Chain A
Amino acid sequence: DQQVKQNSPSLSVQEGRISILNCDYTNSMFDYFLWYKKYPAEGPTFLISISSIKDKNEDGRFTVFLNKSAKHLSLHIVPSQPGDSAVYFCAGGTDSWGKLQFGAGTQVVVTP
């Protein structure tokens, strides 16, 4: 039973526009959430995190929003750039040692 779900397997967006990636979770015990980005033939790389006690975290072009009542988080990328084309994974963790539950990923394609 997947505790973290990314229901959109793919997303296409024009360069310069906003990309919004969504993630839903079922485990209300998650203490934190992370977003990872993955290029082909490489390992996932960390993008941004948010603690469950916050509702927003921003880092440059990337902002993550957390709605605990809806068990939903989203990643906003503004403005989208061609180098953002990758698979994005959402993950939730329940303890400080980092046992993570990942979603299935969303393939983002940024078109010129």
Chain B
Amino acid sequence: EAQVTQNPRYLITVTGKKLTVTCSQNMNHEYMSWYRQDPGLGLRQIYYSMNVEVTDKGDVPEGYKVSRKEKRNFPLILESPSPNQTSLYFCATRSGRAGYEQFFGPGTRLTVL
């Protein structure tokens, strides 16, 4: 079954404590991306990757890092989380060769105290 998985699904942490949210896909897609969803703002892109070792900033990259060492994984790293990073995070993937559709993971609810 085609899947985008995210872990953890829920996380409560404190300011300054480094954390990583993992994203993995089994569809062999070249393109992966991270979004955050906030009330009244919709989904905003944080970072995206067009292939292994190729990443670029989205619209709201401040405070986040990513890496793409393997095609299937695209972790989101918060080196020093702050309360304004409390949000719902989604990973998404897309084939580089077919259509416009992006496939989303189930989301990670992050609370930074």
A residues with a Cβ closer than 8 A to B are 2, 4, 6, 9, 32, 34, 36, 41-46, 49, 89, 91, 93, 96-105
- Measured in the bound complex, the distance between the Cα atoms of B33 and A4 in whole Å is 19
**Chain B minimum-CB-distance residue to A50:** B100
Smallest CB-CB separation from B104: which chain A residue?
Answer: A43
Within 8 Å CB of B100, what residues of A? 32, 34, 49, 93, 96, 98
Q: How many A-B residue pairs have CB under 8 A?
A: 64
A98-B31, A98-B33, A98-B94 known; A46+B41 contact, CB < 8 A: no
Is B40 a contact of A104 with CB atoms below 8 Å?
yes
Bound: A6/B43 CA distance, A:
12
Q: Please tell me if the beta carbons of B42 and A103 are within 8 angstroms of each other in the complex.
A: yes
Assuming A98-B33, A99-B58, is B44 touching A46 (CB within 8 A)?
no
Interface string of B35-72 (1 = CB under 8 A from A): 10000111111001010000000110000000000000
Most B Cβ at <10 Å: residue of A9, A46, A97, A99:
A97
Least distance between B22 CB and chain A CB atoms (Å): 15
Question: Please, how many angstroms separate the alpha-carbon atoms of A6 and B93 in the complex?
Answer: 24
Interface residues on B, range: 20 to 34
A-B CB contact pairs (8 Å), 29 listed:
A2-B41, A2-B42, A9-B40, A36-B104, A41-B106, A41-B107, A43-B104, A43-B106, A44-B43, A44-B90, A45-B104, A46-B101, A49-B100, A89-B43, A91-B43, A93-B100, A96-B100, A97-B94, A98-B31, A98-B33, A98-B100, A99-B33, A99-B58, A100-B45, A101-B59, A102-B35, A102-B42, A104-B40, A105-B42
